[in-house]
Chains A and B, each alone.
Chain A
Amino acid sequence: MEWETVIGLEVHVQLATKSKIFSGASTRFGAEPNTQACAIDLAMPGTLPVANEKAFRYAVMFGLATHAEIGQRSVFERKNYFYPDLPKGYQTTQLDEPIVGPGSVEIVLDDGTTKSIRIHHAHLEEDAGKSLHEDFHGMSGIDLNRAGTPLIEIVSEPDMSNAQEAVAYAKKLHSIVTSLGICDGEMSQGSMRFDVNISVRMKGEEALGTRTETKNLNSFKFMEEAIALEVERQIDILEAGGVITQETRLYNGDTKTARSMRSKEDANDYRYFPCPDLLPVILDDDYIDSIRAQLPELPDARQQRFISEYQLSEYDAAILSDNTQTAIFFEQAVVICQDAKLTANWIMGELSARLNAEEKNITDSPISPEQLANLIERIKDNTISSKMAKEVFNALWQREDKYGSVDAIIKAKGLKQVSDSSALEAMVDEVIANNEAQINNYRNATPDKRPKMLGYFVGQIMKASKGQANPKIINEILLKKLNQLINNT
């Protein structure tokens, strides 16, 4: 039997507002528990919510970036359920009249083709607090710092048919919200969380299979693993003649296992109704237009610009434009060194590798765009070789020079490349004189074998120059001299 997977995503994105969606308390991450929860967040009696305009603005920005209809009338509802980290006993969210209506985003598939993923809607809501089940001796602790943090929940149509597409879609959303500056994108801090709805059906079947929802995945990797696991589980059940139970599941990224959290029968009746403390919000055209006018450049547009403005390949442009901070880093460096290709290579190569290895964001890079540009300038003017550049890069990364000057490091390490031809010619002559046997071999070799043999001589010269000879120039001189030698005999 051939099976087909159908995936839909609900993505929770924490909005990067300074204060909460209905109170003035700070949304900063990592504070001592309950130090950023005011009377409103604690649901003290008599307190009332006042909506944060920034949250609306950010949600509208997202809507405009995904070609969505903006809900001009936006209504908050109460979703009622009891939970210790939900202080009011209801979550203020949107249901029938969300702020962002149907939209779509494009993703690029492995074969290079693009696919449009439809977004059903996106709505504004408040985050809950956190229940902490460790360190309390059989009891639970409640931290309400996160309670009231603004979220948009982005609900896709079931348009994805495998984990790769789901991840591409999630990454695209990540790229959009960070480009817009409406989310810090810090997955490890829960700034973006995914609920994945998965069902399988036989190929060609119209009707959707029974779906399960795997909740609260907070990394692309876990999402990919969870989908693979769940698809396999469902297919196994169906092939064994079983049926899928509609249920909510939890994936454990450490053990790579998932378990059922609750089935549909246990589902709450949330008793939604419009929140009487918050009036419907009407967004007029002027408001929406003013946001549209200030919309920052989006990843797709930026990619096109990088191709046309910097003559980057589609691949390089895609990688550099995807993340706003990377794009900014790239452009800041290029302005100085005027070499887009080299800058792209360094960012996508050495810099990315180091950042990844240390799990750092580009904004935390110890090397500034200016330093990288200076480094590239020194490569271009032959002051240092690429190999030396890596050494300088290392020194910069380790902050060996307290001023962080590329030139100072080159000088301190004595890395200056020898490009002076007369000095290099002398070195070449010496190596030719001292390696008679190798020269004879070279001479006797067929021309197609010779380039490979050249490396030996270059290596000898580099050794003699303690690595400071400019390999490019050595190559030229060496070839010239060897050709003379051969031709003269």
Chain B
Amino acid sequence: MHHQTIAELVTGLRNKAFSSTELTQHYLARILTLDSQFNSYITISEEQALADAKKADERLAKGNAGDLCGIPIAHKDLFCTKGIRTSCASKMLDNFIPPYSATIVENCANAGAVTLGKTNMDEFAMGSSNESSFYGPTKNPWNTDCVPGGSSGGSAAAVAAQLAVAATGSDTGGSIRQPASFCGLTGLKPSYGRVSRWGMVAYASSLDQAGPITHTAEDAAIMMNTMASFDSKDSTSVNKSVPDYTKTLNDSLNGLRIGIPDEYFQEGLDQEVATLIQAALAEYKKLGATLHSVSLPHTHLAVPAYYVIAPAEASTNLSRFDGVRYGHRCDNPRDVIDLYKRSREQGFGEEVKHRILIGTYALSVGYYDAYYRKAQQVRRLIKQDFIEAFKSVDVIAGPVTPTPAFSLGAKTKDPVSMYLEDIYTLPTNLAGLCGISIPCGMSGNKPVGLQLTGHYFDEARLLNVAHQFQQHTDHHTKTAPVNSLTKPLILSNT
């Protein structure tokens, strides 16, 4: 059952080949026996999952169930789940059980989806390797010596290892697309405002956007049909009707204009990755698309701009974690300053502290103009670049990352090289556009992704363009070599 996509499972559930309860039990058993190799889950919500499945089976029996009904998925651990710990992979929230659910969690629950658990991530979504988690790093199911990418690395690893059929993620600078790429999956970052941010613990509010990580574009379309909504509880949510993303998946690509930014194929790009991207573009030509060179001249400024804006927002978003009302509190504070200092000192990990410091600095009197204001100006230029490019093309294609998945520990000592991981994905967030990563081949035993960037609220087209590629290639059907003979989680003699 775990080899199937959402689309296939929907048929199985409808045909009563299996029930949601059976499916859920199957996934739970896989998680319990296999995840010790990957550490992709922080919390397994077994009870909740089985209760969800039972309800889904009732709905399925009544015949009034939607596509996601009975489908076992996982949520990144920064989406608040009522009654289930939501840790953001931080010691700070190790004890935090929200009394409310994120809108996307609620949307999925209302559709009948089953919540298997909460996936690992970089602490507060700050990272590109999933190594900054308080609960330990997640490993890439394709090669457990490698990182799965981040920050939604747990979601990507869980789906790649078939420990969930799909998972939610969040993307602030590439946190869905990069792990999807590293794990051979499809990952969509919707346009800013398409998916509600309510209940998603904020990292950088003006950049954060939730999206799905799945095996196929078709599954991503099914997930988006449920995840996307206008939400009056999120002031940045855009009141725009949500199309049925599955309807246009089979539209012809004849005449599709694909833009190729020169700036994405320069120094730093791995040769093998470049070759796979070129091959994917050739495939698109066969499907009737035309390729056009475009210029995004401010691309080189995206990393510095992002690493001012995101930490600036993060530095104040994370001020609420002060040990006063919830979350980690130090023992025996002497006074309120001591309470703040030690609670935050103990509760936050290195990378989080690093970014709080950068952000605090960038917003300080005397530096604001040089850093924050300047970065906002750069952001407008980057946005302008895309708007200009989209005048002549329908989508923009390029690599997701300069290299395939790197080894665990390879970049932890060198934050700048880690930050450069995001060079091709950051501009999409800074501009607020939508982007998707789809598998386009292997570099050795490591998957490589193709990135497609779409115009504002053009997710339907991105999914169509991705789906058509997957109809004519099989990169997305390859699965990670998960050793199913691993010892089950039965425990040592005590």
Contacts and interface: CB of A to CB of B under 8 A. Distances in A.
Interface string B62-104: 0000000000000000111000001010000100101110100
Nearest to A24: B233
Contacts of A50: 232-235
Contacts of A80: 315-316, 319, 363
A298 B461 CA distance: 57
Nearest to A142: B324
Contact of B325 (A42, A46, A48, A278): A42
Nearest to B198: A48
B205 interface: yes
Given A46-B201, A142-B324, A276 B206 contact: yes
Contact of A46 (B198, B322, B340, B364): B198
A277 B320 CA distance: 15
B312 interface: yes
B18 interface: no
A43 B320 contact: yes
A271 B316 contact: yes
Interface string A37-59: 00100111111111100000000
Interface in A267-311: 269, 271-273, 276-279
A277 B322 CA distance: 20
A78 interface: yes
A83 B424 CA distance: 40
Contact of B312 (A88, A89, A90, A273): A273
Contact of A278 (B197, B235, B340, B365): B235
B86 A45 contact: yes
Nearest to B199: A46
B406 interface: no
Contacts of B315: 80, 271
Contacts of B316: 78, 80, 89-90, 271, 273
A89 B99 contact: no
Interface in A59-78: 78
A84 interface: yes
Pick from A45, A50, A140, A273 the residue with the most CB of B within 10 Å.
A45
A82 interface: yes
B200 interface: yes
A307 B105 CA distance: 64
B80 A277 contact: no
A45 B325 contact: no
Interface in B306-350: 312-313, 315-316, 319-322, 324-326, 336, 340
B324 A84 contact: yes
B198 to A, nearest CB: 5
Nearest to A270: B365
Contacts of B33: none
Contacts of A84: 322, 324, 336
Interface in A388-436: none
Contacts of B324: 84, 87, 142
Given A82-B319, A89-B316, A277 B236 contact: yes
Nearest to B365: A269
B353 to A, nearest CB: 15
A277 B236 CA distance: 7
Interface in A191-229: none
Contacts of A43: 320, 325
Contacts of A44: 98-100, 325-326
Contact of A279 (B200, B204, B235, B372): B235
Contact of B336 (A45, A46, A140, A279): A140
B372 A45 contact: no
A46 B202 contact: yes
A276 B86 contact: no
A272 B365 CA distance: 9
A44 B200 CA distance: 11
Interface residues of B, number: 44
Interface residues of A, number: 29
B157 to A, nearest CB: 23
A393 to B, nearest CB: 53
Given A273-B372, A277-B205, A45 B88 contact: yes
B397 to A, nearest CB: 29
B419 interface: no
A28 B98 CA distance: 26
A45 B80 contact: yes
A87 B313 CA distance: 17
A45 B340 contact: no
Given A49-B235, A140-B336, A279-B235, A271 B319 contact: no
B368 interface: yes
Contacts of B102: 46
B360 interface: yes
Contacts of A269: 364-365
A45 B197 CA distance: 11
With most chain B CB atoms within 10 A of its CB, the pick from A46, A50, A51, A88 is: A46
A23 to B, nearest CB: 10
Nearest to A269: B365
Given A46-B200, A47-B198, A142-B324, A271 B364 contact: yes
Specify which of B100, B312, B322 lies most central, judged by the most chain A CB atoms within 10 Å of its CB.
B322
Nearest to A50: B235
A263 to B, nearest CB: 17
A46 B312 CA distance: 17
A87 B200 contact: no
Contacts of A277: 202, 205, 235-236
Nearest to B101: A46
B201 to A, nearest CB: 4
Contacts of B364: 269, 271
A271 B313 CA distance: 11
A475 B259 CA distance: 106
Interface in B475-492: none
Contact of A48 (B204, B206, B234, B336): B234
Contacts of A90: 316, 319
Most buried by A among B100, B235, B312, B322: B235
A50 B233 CA distance: 6
Interface in A75-119: 78, 80, 82, 84, 87-90
Nearest to A277: B205
10 contacts: A45-B88, A46-B86, A46-B202, A48-B198, A80-B363, A271-B315, A271-B365, A276-B236, A277-B205, A278-B235
Interface of B: 78-80, 86, 88, 93, 96, 98-100, 102, 197-202, 204-206, 232-236, 312-313, 315-316, 319-322, 324-326, 336, 340, 360, 363-365, 368, 372
Interface of A: 39, 42-51, 78, 80, 82, 84, 87-90, 140, 142, 269, 271-273, 276-279
Question: Ordered nearest first, which 8 A-B pairs have the shortest CB separation?
Answer: A89-B319, A276-B206, A276-B205, A271-B363, A43-B320, A46-B199, A45-B201, A46-B80
Given A44-B326, A88-B320, A279-B236, 13 more contacts: A39-B100, A45-B201, A45-B320, A46-B201, A49-B235, A51-B235, A80-B315, A89-B316, A269-B364, A271-B368, A273-B363, A273-B368, A273-B372
